[in-house]
């Protein structure tokens, strides 16, 4: 486990547990990082809340823990330049959670959430940046415009967030559609080839006759030959029967 001269082992153990929890279930818009060899400095990237002049910006800050933490509050500093009434030009943060409202039972999660909320609702009455505080009180639109310009210039850009599997699912859907289309086109071509190509066994049309007339004549010829064959067979069967009758008559005449 990481150690630090300024922090007692029991505090380091508690911080390690809390930092693990922050990493597994981070607060909205906050990502925490730490040096494993020095738990006395906690880093965090805070996303500018939507609807504020800090939207579309990411601000890096740090919390410095004193040797008697958690009995005394950490000191907070913004490392990214930001125009805010409660954040000094050197980055120092003025928030009650890090001053008079500090409680040893408050965790790092609570402190970080309060700091992000400060970007949503500044308190110009306790300003560390007098220019920002005065501008906010007198002309919010001018304050917001100035804060937005500083955000665009100095703030980090948020990384794009993608829903897990959306592209692959979209790609899979496209591939399936393309496959179905190709199969349908192949089936259509095969069906067309079967209907359009004449059978190699069929007689070729002559004298301008179309395929249908040839086919019908062929069918007629086949049926006619079958009929004649049946007649011949019936005739052959009748001959032996008549002969037997004649032989029987001759025998009867001889007896008389």
Cα–Cα distance between 152 and 53 in angstroms, integer? 10
Which of 128-149 are b and which e, b meaning 16 or more Cβ less than 10 Å from the residue's Cβ? bbeebbebbeeeeeebbebbbe
Cα–Cα distance between 229 and 237 in angstroms, integer? 13
Nearest CA among 100, 43, 105 for reference residue 69: 105
Q: Which run of H or E residues covers position 193?
A: helix 166-196
Nearest CA among 27, 155, 3, 137 for reference residue 79: 155
Which token pair is 118? Answer: 């400060």
DSSP labels for 21-76? Answer: HHHHSPPTTEEEEEETTEEEEEEEEEEPPTTSTTTT-EEEEEEE--TTTTTSPPEE
Catalytic residue annotation: 94
Which token pair is 14? Answer: 């508690």
Which of 66-103 are b and which e, b meaning 16 or more Cβ less than 10 Å from the residue's Cβ? eeebbeebbebbbebebbbbbbbeebebbbebbeeebe
């Amino acid at each position: 486990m990481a150690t630090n001269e300024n922090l007692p082992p029991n505090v380091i153990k508690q911080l390690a547990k809390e930092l693990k929890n922050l990493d597994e279930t981070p607060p909205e818009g906050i990502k925490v990082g730490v040096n494993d060899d020095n738990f006395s400095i906690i880093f965090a990237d805070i996303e500018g809340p939507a609807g504020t002049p800090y939207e579309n910006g990411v601000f890096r800050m740090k919390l410095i823990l004193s040797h008697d933490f958690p009995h005394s509050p950490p000191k907070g500093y913004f490392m990214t330049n930001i125009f805010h009434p409660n954040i000094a030009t050197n980055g120092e943060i003025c928030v009650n959670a890090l001053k008079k409202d500090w409680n040893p039972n408050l965790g790092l999660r609570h402190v970080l959430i309060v700091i992000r909320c400060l970007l949503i609702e500044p308190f110009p009455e306790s300003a560390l940046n007098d220019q920002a505080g005065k501008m906010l009180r007198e002309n919010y639109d001018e304050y917001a415009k100035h804060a937005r310009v500083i955000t665009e210039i100095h703030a980090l850009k948020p990384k794009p967030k993608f829903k897990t599997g959306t592209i692959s699912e979209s790609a899979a859907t496209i591939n399936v559609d393309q496959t179905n289309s190709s199969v349908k086109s192949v089936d259509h071509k095969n069906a067309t080839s079967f209907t359009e190509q004449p059978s190699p066994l069929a007689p070729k049309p002559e004298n301008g006759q179309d395929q249908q007339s040839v086919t019908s004549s062929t069918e007629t010829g086949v049926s006619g030959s079958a009929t004649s064959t049946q007649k011949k067979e019936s005739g052959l069967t009748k001959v032996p029967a008549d002969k037997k009758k004649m032989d029987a008559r001759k025998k009867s005449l001889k007896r008389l």
